Amino acid sequence: MALDLESDTLFSNVLAGLPRVAEVIATVPEGKRSLALDAAQQGYLRIARGAGYDEAEAQEWSSAVMVRLRAESAREADTTG
């Protein structure tokens, strides 16, 4: 069964918090940002697992979050530069 992220309330709530997470990541020195993003990804993976997703779904869920977080972080880094 494929994930339906459109109707996933937890996913929507996590996405709503991404601008703040991106702000925090933008304060990390550029050379360490990849570590911060990796840590965020592991955290989102734990959230998905805790929500009851099987491993494949949890990976897909956290990857979808990270696509958006990476984009938001890049925008934030560009503006705080």
pLDDT at 5: 81
Tokens (6 digits) for 32: 């360490």
List the chain domain ranges: 31-81
CB atoms within 10 A of CB 25: 22
pLDDT at 62: 96
Q: How far apart are the first and last CA of the chain?
A: 42
Q: What is the pTM of this model?
A: 0.88
pLDDT single digits (tens) 25-39:
999 999 999 999 999
